A and B are shown apart, each in its own frame.
Chain A
């Protein structure tokens, strides 16, 4: 094809936008980010920075007083009853994490495997398992408090009705069962989301790998441990990290079911509840905001450090693979 002179002139006639205009467009796009940035800074960054600053100060009521360095942190770890409550709540957070991994994640992975196989009504099951997530955590907590009520709750009534009266139990009133009961409720609430993440991971595994393994004579069990789990590891890691963060941030469900003191007698107390009591629950303490901020900083550091370490090992493993 031969270009005519006229065509060349037309091409030349549409000049490229100047560099300044291109820059301006770029900046204009940034402008659209400003409202979101404003809210992010106001509601996320500022409170975190404020907590960092407040943790180094003493408070009289709600008014900031003197700079006291690390004293709030030292008191949290050394002074009674703060040190005991901290240790107890921290331990509960660990149990909460392990319990959630063992119940929610293991079950969610099993269900995701089942749904990803060719069973009938897989979309229906996906929707059903995800449904609890549509409810507010507070509503879930309130509903389960009613269901688990020892005298007229649905669970104990059902157990009595089917002849298992001896199994009826004050699930939330017995320190031996209260925390585990909350973990189970949390697992019920969050299992749908975990299933969706695992399903996405499982569906990304190429079918050919399984076919090749089958030709090589691999059993279903072998395929699960040699192909499915290793290849779904990114999804598993992400869910484990999210579960860790969720377990250390857990507040609403425990608060809704057991109140701000994590009763009975701190048997369901977690760090976020302890923080709430320190910072807001007992303004009469007169020194609570500084200590509460110190606890918030510690909580932030625990979550950040654990997440960073997990991500580091996860990335390294990904590179090795």
Chain B
């Protein structure tokens, strides 16, 4: 009888743990899905703290022929909202909004990361504003690695095995609506 009761209690405890784990997994998956659905690239919805490297005109539209709202001084903080060609749409501390030449803007530094990245967290972090800090065993690539490295021709063979035909490349460009701009020379 005692044995039966003990087994029954153990079984119920295990069942409870399992169902809690399952619930957590479902919640996490739903959360991840929501994140993916709502994720937008930096240029369209994320904001970043930044400052100006030199005094710059804040324009009403994203071109230097438009109305000048204000001149923003060097080192003044701004919040970058999104980009259009070479222009950032920003908000200033004085609650002004307008367009600044992106070349005059520098993002504020993010905190130094404390660990190495795992690829799963690395790619998973594409939707996040902050950089991942977990260490999951993927090493860096520094001088010491190079010093110890021996030529790995098996890995090289893997690289050489990625074969894509010129017609597949053209199809890829077509799908992305990429067209060669023949007016631009690369020199």
Physical interaction between A and B: no
Q: Residues on A close to B: CB < 8 A? A: none
